[in-house]
Amino acid sequence: MEKLDNIIEALRHDLAEAVEAVDRPYGDAVLTVSRTRVHDVLSGLKTRGFDLLLDIAGVDGLHLGGRERFEVVYILYSLRDDLRARVKVFVPEGDMTLPTATDLWQSANWAEREAYDMFGFNFEGHPNLVRILCHREFVGHALRKDYPMMKGQWATGTSDLRPDIERE
Amino acid sequence: MGVKGIPLTKHETGLITTRIEEVIRWGRKYSLWPLPFGTACCAIEFMAVASSVFDISRFGAELVRFSPRQSDLMIVAGTINYKLGPVLRRIYDQICEPKYVVSMGACACSGGFYDNYATIQGIDQIVPVDVFIPGCPPRPDAILSALLKLQETIDREPQMGPRRPITEHGKTR
Amino acid sequence: MNTTTHGKRMEENRIDNPKPGFEDPSPGVDLDIADETALEDLGTEPMFINIGPTHPATHGTFRVFCKLDGERIEKAAVEIGYLHRGFEKIVETKHYTQVIPYTDRLNYCSGLVNNVGYCKAVERMLGVTITPRTEIIRVIICEIQRIMDHMICVCANLVDIGALTNFWYFFNAREKLNDLLEALTGARLTYSYTRIGGLAWDLPKGFEENVKTVMKEVPKAIKDVEGLIKKNRIFIDRTRDVGVMGADDAVSFGFTGPCLRASGVNHDLRKKKPYYHYDEFEFDVPVGERGDVYDRIFVRMEEMKQSYRIVEQALKILPGGPINIDDKNIMLPDKDKVHSSMEELINHFKLIIEGIKPPAGEIYDAIEAPNGELGFYIISDGSGKPYRIKCRPPCFYLMNGLKKLIEGHMVADIVAILAGLNIIAGELDR
């Protein structure tokens, strides 16, 4: 616990207003970060030992009543200290761009593609931001709260992957 | 089977008179070569049927051929979603006549409990199905029972001529 | 390498010492140089081939689109999503207990581990501690499932390489273990045995003795398979130095589980963040050296042996007592009381209609599944239905690294590498 607190304190010291809040629900540590500084915070955490990006989760907080409608949560793990941390970013509905984390961790590649597919986040700098789980003719973003559950969309064939090969 | 047998004696060779249709029916019934279109959990149960404990080869269906050109029974085991639908139809079209389709498991029969935007609610919306096997996943015994039911169906159908009216190539619905 | 008689014969037949009468008809031509100059005039074009999405039954559905230069893969693109079933959308409309069957179908080769992982996360959110007996039972079933999952992975891997016999050996042992779990839970593949706060029902009579008897088959099967492949020249040629992933790359790609350990990183959640008394059991964590397919297969074989040890120890310390916690807001009351007493009837009714209500908040909890770290990020809004469940599947990140693993190898290696990663499509696409 103290190691994690020390790391967070050092981070807040270096990047003054980037980390807006630190919560400790159920013993985890969640840092709320502003959208413009998220890349600095993530690279700061990576240099302080958080070398494993476990997951990037998108959340549609339409009924939760948070600051903005969408959230992006990065779940990080430090292999040398065995610590877990989460970084939460609030994203408004009107402007869903975020800097990509693929230059820090290669696991962000597909995790960001999934967040784009399910919610519509636009990760700037991502090498190949196309749909990954739904088919390429799908219109809309499936996990948003206003996407109807039963609305299926037929596909007319498999997609051509030649552009993908060159891009990634 | 409508066979008139002439018993073997020391000097005669055995001769059976029957109709060509019966021989074809006998051959097709007992050598259904499955194409396991396995996507999800039901594919693991199909592997268990093929293993030595439940042994599908007793019924002639041991030769699992993954090429549609070399098989005649397509067993759709697992959930089919909208992304995989065109692929399923294309593979079905490539199998040579007469072909049979078995829909294995709740997800293939009707979408299972995934009643949402991603899953096709029953593969009979895209391919014609002969036998539906309920279960999630169905027990290997149920799969063997379905194979026997399919063999009974083959018993009742005429074997000369196409099985179904030939439809336009490439139609998916 | 020690030359056997077979090796000596091969030495004798080499092109440098030909038998009399079998000399090279055009001596003096150095074949290596001849190849290069010949190829200069040859114009080659890259060929694009598509592998999948219908893959021979064992692995589910994904597609690898390759740009080939001859037989070598220059570039590849991997496409998944052919089993996307909308797990995360549909669980937003179900109660917490109704989500348990959906978690079964994530990694369907080891359904109980997913159940345990999900229930562990929700129990942590509720702030309850399960009873000691349930903890040990959950350990036993998780380790049995680990053995079964590794069996399927290794035998499917070997079938793809061409060694079919091992499929029968491992599947027979797996069927016997599956019979145990069928006696326990009633189902063959999709168990749904755990409940939030405990288990569905207690162990049947004689379960412990049956486990001890059946578990004796496991070392036998492992020994049979190892005997066939460990020193097999063909197996070693096909798997050594094929699909190598270094330690730093593996961590960067988000690998966890046997594939990370095969690359040399000693990370196992059972040792680093122990839960359910794992810190009291004596077991080792096998770690590979090179990160190739050979290491991945043998890390899994060793893990099976370690799971056997854990099950033996767990059976010795299995305590008695209740399996469900004593909390009216979480556990359903006994059925005979429901039919006779008003209070239990109302309690039952409220729990079924409204569901268990964890306090509003969010949590991330993970378990060491056979494939890696299976995590659940659950957001609750205080009602009986989860607001958002994000499942962190281990295969998703392994598949992400597939592109790097296969580029530079030949087409035939794709199959060996893919099978070594143990991709279960139910988990990959959710």
> Is there a domain that residue C246 lies in?
yes
Whether C172 is in a domain gets the answer yes
> For the segment A33-50, what is each residue's pLDDT rounded down to a tens digit?
888 888 888 888 888 888
pLDDT of residue C387: 93
| B171 pLDDT more than 50 | no
Mean pLDDT of B126-131: 91
Q: Taking CB atoms and an 8 Å limit, are C172 and B53 in contact across chains?
A: yes
Nearest chain B residue to A141, by CA = B117
Answer yes or no: are the C-beta atoms of C88 and A143 closer than 8 Å: yes
Q: Chains touching chain B at 3 or more Cβ pairs under 8 angstroms?
A: A, C
Q: Could you read off the pLDDT of B51-80 as tens digits, one per residue?
A: 888 888 888 888 888 888 999 899 999 899
Taking CA–CA distances from B126, the nearest residue in chain A reads A154
| Residue-number span of the structural domain to which B109 is assigned | 26-155
C168 in reach of chain B (CB within 8 A):
yes
- Closest residue, chain B, to A152 (C-alpha): B117
Place of tokens 């190898």: C409
Q: Tell me which residue range forms the domain holding C355.
A: 87-429
- B 86-145 residues with CB < 8 A to A: 86-87, 115-121
C375 touches B at CB < 8 Å: no
Mean pLDDT of C215-219: 89
Q: Is the pLDDT of residue A137 over 60?
A: yes
pLDDT at C10 > cutoff 90: no
Characterize the bridge pairing of strands A70-78 and A52-60: antiparallel
Q: Residue A74's pLDDT is what?
A: 93
Q: Where does the pLDDT of residue C25 fall: very low under 50, low under 70, confident under 90, or very high at 90 and above?
A: low
| Number of neighbouring beta carbons within 10 Å of residue C326 | 11
Percent of chain A with pLDDT over 70: 99
Q: Where are the domains of chain A?
A: 2-151
Q: Which of B103-117, B151-165, C36-50 has the highest mean pLDDT?
A: B103-117
Higher pLDDT residue, B14 or C25?
A: B14
Is position C363 within any domain? yes
Distance of residue B32 Cα from the nearest chain C Cα, in angstroms: 17
**Do C81 and B83 make contact, defined as CB atoms within 8 angstroms?**
yes
* Res. B13 pLDDT band, cuts 50 70 90: low
Number of domains in chain B: 1
Distance from C54 to chain B by nearest Cα, in Å? 7
pLDDT for res B170: 45
Q: Model confidence over C378-412: pLDDT tens digits? A: 999 988 899 999 999 999 999 999 888 888 888 88
Is CATH 3.30.590.10 the right assignment for the domain spanning A2-151?
no
CATH number at residue B67: 3.40.50.12280
* B169 lies within 8 A of chain A by CB: no
**Per-residue pLDDT at B4 exceeds 70:** no
Please report residues of B whose CB lies closer than 8 A to that of C102: 113
pLDDT at position B73? 92
CB C120, CB C365: distance < 8 Å: yes
User: Given pLDDT bands bounded at 50, 70 and 90, which one contains residue B7?
Assistant: low
The alpha-carbon gap from C65 to the nearest alpha carbon of chain A, in Å, equals: 7
Distance CA C334, CA C346 (A): 13
pTM: 0.88
Smallest Cβ–Cβ distance between B117 and the set A149, A155, A156 belongs to A149
Q: What pLDDT score does B166 carry?
A: 60
C-alpha to C-alpha distance for C424 and C430, rounded to whole angstroms: 10
Chosen for mutation from C59, C63, C102, C105 (greatest number of chain B CBs closer than 10 Å) is: C105
Q: Are C390 and A57 a contacting pair at CB < 8 A?
A: yes
Question: What residues of A are in contact with residue C375 (Cβ under 8 Å)?
Answer: 54-55, 75
8 Å CB contact of B81 and C58: no
Q: Do A155 and B115 lie within an 8 Å CB cutoff?
A: no
- Contact residues on chain B for C155, CB-CB shorter than 8 A: none
Which residue from C125, C377, C387 is facing A64, i.e. has the nearest CB?
C387
Under an 8 A CB cutoff, do B116 and C425 touch? Answer: no
Q: Any residues with CB less than 8 A from the CB of C155 and at least 6 apart, and which?
A: C166, C167, C169, C170, C171, C225
Phi and psi, residue A14, nearest 5°: -75, -45
What residue in C sits closest to B67 (Cα-Cα)?
Answer: C56
Average of per-residue pLDDT values in chain C: 86
As for how many domains chain C has, the answer is 1
Mean pLDDT of C105-130: 92
Question: What is residue C26's predicted lDDT score, i.e. its pLDDT?
Answer: 57
Q: Nearest 5°: phi and psi at A166? A: -75, -35
pLDDT at B102 over 70: yes
Do A158 and C53 lie within an 8 Å CB cutoff? yes
Q: What would the pLDDT profile of C333-357 be if each residue is shown by its tens digit?
A: 888 888 889 998 999 999 999 889 9
In this model, does residue B141 exceed pLDDT 60?
A: yes
Residue C376 pLDDT class (50, 70, 90 cuts): very high
- Copy the structure tokens of residue B71: 């098989």
Q: Which residues of B touch C (CB under 8 A)?
A: 36-41, 43-48, 51-53, 64, 66, 77-79, 81, 83-84, 87, 91, 107, 113-119, 136-137, 139
Percent of chain C with pLDDT over 70: 89
> How does pLDDT run across C243-280, given as a tens digit for each residue?
898 899 999 999 999 999 999 999 999 999 898 889 89
ipTM: 0.93
pLDDT classification of A151: cutoffs 50, 70, 90 = confident
User: What Cα–Cα distance (Å) separates residue C62 from each residue in C79, C84, C86?
Assistant: 6, 11, 17
CB B53 within 8 A of CB B139: no
Nearest to B117 among A150, A156, A158 (CB): A150
Q: A-side interface with B, Cβ within 8 Å?
A: 134-135, 142, 147-158
pLDDT, tens digit (0-9, with 9 covering 90-100), for C150-200: 998 998 888 888 888 888 888 888 889 999 899 999 888 889 999 998 998
Q: Which residues contact B43 (CB under 8 A, 6 or more apart)?
A: B36, B77, B78, C57, C58, C60
Which residue among A142, A156, A158 places its CB closest to the CB of B117? A142
Residue of chain A with shortest Cα separation from C124? A26
Q: Calculate how close chain B gets to A119, using CA atoms only, in Å.
A: 15
SS3 B84: coil
* pLDDT-based confidence at residue B169 (cuts at 50, 70, 90): low
From B82, B87, B173, residue closest to A153, measured CB to CB: B82
